[in-house]
Structure 1
């Protein structure tokens, strides 16, 4: 395990949010990087890539994320948040950098899979740690605040794509994505504290806790219905997030927009996500998280359907912004709801399994987009398909059990 810093946790509590935010930012980079480089890889026929083989590469990375979320999220409730998060950042940063020198689509896909193992654990661990350091009644805003890092990372990637791809080429996107860990990891080793709630629970239950026990806890004490509903809503939410971020530029190019505009719409989508996160966190902390999450999924679905209509340039940017506002923060509200629902002994397990099952939706999103593109019907039917996914997400949230799923931290 990573050695603890000599300063006490209280002295380092102020570092929790900024360090977790930066870790999530790097995860957000990975969210968009493949969608940014895919048009170039396809145009240049790198490795003989086609939409079908690109979908396979994307899928393997997301399968790795699913396995990573399931394994690391559960392991975190046994070994602690701090060491697991540091390991996650080191592993996915190194493997993302290696993608720049992949000699074939096979090697590239394997590297994406291995990087996904580390990436999968990053968000649930960060949310668990921030939730446990947040003030009572403020965990919604705390969660949505660090998740803005996810979309800031996505925005920076879109900006880098516009600036770097035409001049330096696609490998530089992966080199620039792995570099920040050289600064972040030493800071985390020095300043990131362990969760106080985890240490208290660990001290009280030494020898009694374990990975299987933490997983079983998701189905005890009336939690089974809520657990299954969270899994379905996370599946739908991440299907939207990854499907849109992977294929939106290419779908908009099929609709007749140039590459620069398509990447600009990807940036706009994630700017909307940040605005939605800031608003939804405030509303969630007013005790309305269930209603807010349902409303966010439904509204996101409506604006995705609107994107199927040919709009003037200003109109399409506005519609994409609003869609991003609701679609992406809907998924973060699922995480907030999960973090609020489970007690400390298996909170990270609950988040990890929700994220892990959700990553299966993240696999299906790019597969759905790739299939529609291959069939030549991605525009407009892709937007209709993703709108239906949003409706299913709302239904799942409505089925979350009560009152068990409305505990405070």
Structure 2
């Protein structure tokens, strides 16, 4: 009789890579709108001005709000794998349909539907990345994964620079459907289910097998149930309700506010930066180049900042990044040389997109594993209100003709507010997934500086 072969171990890098590519398309599908705003406003046959363009920019984010909050409610029932697969298929099909929109009304509605699919991606990717990453590398793993958003933004800007002078904007939206034939089959084949979800639904053997396959310590993710809990007949508290218990209520509210500020900056700048710079006298190509530099700065800055966060604590780094964004955004409003403006835009990319990446990682490591996905979905869902406000705010200011500088003043104020909110989150030693206190020796350096 042939002895059973040992299970081949897979690296958590596989999950990181799949989530990274998913977020690349998420970033592309959102930033492509900002790349095409100047073209859409000038498009013959469509009646778009700055106000209506801002409204359409917000529709996708309204959809993301609904999608993200819905994920928070159904994750415990359907699991993260099925949500990821369904979300990718949804937003890809909607992007393909958007490419054939006959008018601005249908175009806006399809952007809303696209946002619903995109809303399910972000919290799921963060939760999976953090769960399958080594404990001492969670912030850098999350930052590398989430930098895919800026890679998608860079791709959107580069393709817009290359294609818009010669082709219709519809081509850029059609490219957003590529996950249907490139990414989705790979995700279906290789993405595992969450260990914490499998354990929570009574599939402990399968959960242990997935953990072993990916080199994870099962008890680090799902702590063993102590004897006292085993005989406890009290009904379990749902993840959403537990977020608002006295232990977590303050953090839950503050993380939602931090995401509000961060996402307002991300989508306000990514939607309006090209048009704002055109108002400042730059040509279309140069204006799109500012969008490119914004997202390049986010990639470099977020990964660099995450290294520091894993060593000194993510809360300090996020607070400092928000303040850095305030300074850079304010200075962009001044009449400075083009080279210096590009440098400041790159710094603003760190302080806006990069900071939002770190906020997501902060939230994911702040809570026990069993609450992580729901906490992310909740805070990102409420934060989407800020994302909705970003494009609307830019459109309103442009419509008031108060000068392009006012956009930057408003965004700088939001960055200060973000720093104050993050600095107000209380820190204390975290408890493990079932609530048993860990000794200081068993808490990772990252977790101990970020939680409570």
TM-score (norm 2): 0.85
Change over 3 Å in CA distance of 1:209–1:257 after alignment to 2: farther
How far has the Cα of 1:14 moved from its partner?
3.7
Change over 3 Å in CA distance of 1:76–1:9 after alignment to 2: farther
- In the alignment, structure 1 residue 403 sits paired with structure 2 residue 402: no
**What are the equivalent positions in structure 2 for 1:22-101 lying under 5 Å apart?**
22-101=21-100
- Partner of residue 269, structure 1: 294
Change over 3 Å in CA distance of 1:228–1:172 after alignment to 2: same
- Partner of residue 4, structure 1: none
- Structure 1 counterpart SS, 2:247: coil
d(CA) in 2 for partners of 1:168, 1:357: 37
8 A Cα contact 2:240 2:374, kept in partner: yes
- In the alignment, structure 1 residue 139 sits paired with structure 2 residue 103: no
- Partner of residue 311, structure 2: 286
- Structure 2 counterpart SS, 1:401: coil
**What are the equivalent positions in structure 2 for 1:6-405 lying under 5 Å apart?**
10-11=9-10, 13-203=12-202, 213-403=238-428
Change over 3 Å in CA distance of 1:139–1:221 after alignment to 2: farther
How far has the Cα of 1:75 moved from its partner?
1.7
- Structure 1 counterpart SS, 2:135: coil
8 A Cα contact 2:55 2:391, kept in partner: no
Change over 3 Å in CA distance of 1:45–1:396 after alignment to 2: farther
How far has the Cα of 1:114 moved from its partner?
0.9
Change over 3 Å in CA distance of 1:10–1:91 after alignment to 2: farther
How far has the Cα of 1:228 moved from its partner?
0.5
d(CA) in 2 for partners of 1:83, 1:46: 41
Greater mean deviation of Cα atoms: 121-130 or 316-325: 316-325
Equivalent residues, number: 400
- Structure 1 counterpart SS, 2:10: helix
8 A Cα contact 1:239 1:361, kept in partner: yes
Greater mean deviation of Cα atoms: 397-406 or 265-274: 397-406
**Could you say which structure has the higher helix fraction?**
1
- Partner of residue 440, structure 2: none
- Partner of residue 435, structure 2: none
Change over 3 Å in CA distance of 1:81–1:219 after alignment to 2: same
8 A Cα contact 2:305 2:317, kept in partner: yes
Q: Deviations over 1:316-346 (max 9, x none)?
A: 1111111112221111111111100111222
User: Any runs of at least 4 consecutive aligned residues in structure 1 with deviations exceeding 3 A, and if so which?
Assistant: 7-14, 404-409
- Partner of residue 441, structure 2: none
d(CA) in 2 for partners of 1:180, 1:215: 31
How far has the Cα of 1:46 moved from its partner?
4.4
8 A Cα contact 1:234 1:355, kept in partner: yes
Segments of structure 1 that go 5 or more residues without pairing to the other structure are: 1-6
8 A Cα contact 1:73 1:348, kept in partner: yes
8 A Cα contact 1:12 1:193, kept in partner: no
TM-score (norm 1): 0.93
d(CA) in 2 for partners of 1:146, 1:43: 36
d(CA) in 1 for partners of 2:153, 2:406: 25
How far has the Cα of 1:74 moved from its partner?
3.3
Change over 3 Å in CA distance of 1:209–1:138 after alignment to 2: farther
Change over 3 Å in CA distance of 1:164–1:46 after alignment to 2: farther
8 A Cα contact 1:241 1:327, kept in partner: yes
d(CA) in 2 for partners of 1:402, 1:15: 32
- Structure 2 counterpart SS, 1:179: helix
8 A Cα contact 1:131 1:143, kept in partner: yes
